[in-house]
Amino acid sequence: MKKEYDIEKLNPRKNPYVKQLKKQVTMYVDQENVDYFKNESTNVGIPYQTLINLYLSDCRKNNRKLDLQWK
């Protein structure tokens, strides 16, 4: 390993994963929904927060719209 490096010759690159960075948010979610995703996460073997993120990503990618009707 060199004692000093010439910064000009290092050829820096942009982070290729910058679009995939995640942001921490605070949400109020019903306990039943959290329990559902925690149960599903044990079935599929991935963390429940990752499972929720995958589900939301699928909704976005497939342009799913909420069909909500008030009684």
- Residue at 51: amino acid letter: L
Q: Write out the residue range of the structural domain in which residue 50 sits.
A: 29-61
In a domain, 39, yes or no: yes
C-alpha span between 66 and 52 (Å, rounded):
16
* Nearest of 53, 58, 60 to residue 37 by alpha carbon: 53
What is the chain's pLDDT, residue by residue, as a tens digit (71 residues)? 777 877 777 777 887 877 778 889 999 999 999 999 999 999 999 999 999 999 999 999 999 998 888 88
Domains in the chain, number: 1
In a domain, 19, yes or no: no
* Nearest of 31, 23, 63 to residue 48 by alpha carbon: 31
In a domain, 46, yes or no: yes
